[in-house]
Amino acid sequence: MTKLSVNINKVATIRNARGGNIPNVCRVALDCELFGADGITVHPRPDERHIRYADVWELKPLLRTEFNIEGNPTPEFIKLVKDIKPHQVTLVPDAHDAITSNAGWNVRKNFDFLKAIVSDFQEIGIRVSIFIDTDLENIELAAKTGTDRIELYTEPYAELFPMNREKAIEPFIEAAKLARQLGLGVNAGHDLSLENLSYFHTLIPWVDEVSIGHALISDALYLGLNETIKQYKNQLI
């Protein structure tokens, strides 16, 4: 079954807008687990404008589901991940000033760098996923780094979906098929929502995990967190 990992960055964004500890990031994460989420994702950035490094430390002993830390593998990020030892690290090539993730890795250009980091994390028992687009050569090279999984960057799918869902999903099916043939696990994330998730999952049912934050937290403002997580889980049946 495809797992749902809830990205709680947006919860931290709301907290940070006023200071203090409302909403409480840890409480929300634990409620997500209680309501059926299979994992929690955080993406700490250098400026700590949403999830802070201190949040990651506070979350680690509390969570009972899979913990996924994603981000650009700067020296500070690498140290954090090695110290925390989450179940999974997702390597994302974010610029320091990026509002949100907006591209996957150019694996050819960064091959040696990625291969070394993948090996370092795997040596201490952390599963590694590389954030990537649907370029098939890129996926072949990702497999050669030794990574356990790739995470398909799904914003292009989400943007085209309202106009032409068949065209939107086509490159993702081909990418996911190739990844499976190469022995890679497949995750997916970015702009997946209640509108487009079921179709994605129906046509690529072997996806291991979807990581969803912005849409899910936004939907929770209207539906409540419990009902929202139930509805997202229902898209993955």
Reduce the DSSP state of residue 168 to 3 states and report it. helix
Cβ atoms of 35 and 225 within 8 Å: the answer is yes
- Cα separation of 139 and 134, whole Å? 7
| Known catalytic residue at 50 | no
Q: Per the residue annotation, which of 66, 190, 201, 209 is the catalytic one?
A: 190
Left (φ > 0), alpha (ψ -120 to 50) or beta: where does 125 sit?
left
- Among residues 33, 50, 66, 70, the one annotated as catalytic is 70
Number of Cα atoms under 13 Å in the Cβ half of residue 63: 30
Q: Exactly one of 43, 50, 66, 201 is catalytic; which is it?
A: 43
166 is catalytic: no
d(Cα 199, Cα 34) in Å, to the nearest integer?
26
Q: What is the distance between the alpha carbons of residues 210 and 93, in angstroms, rounded to a whole number?
A: 19
Indicate which residues carry an active-site annotation. 43, 70, 190
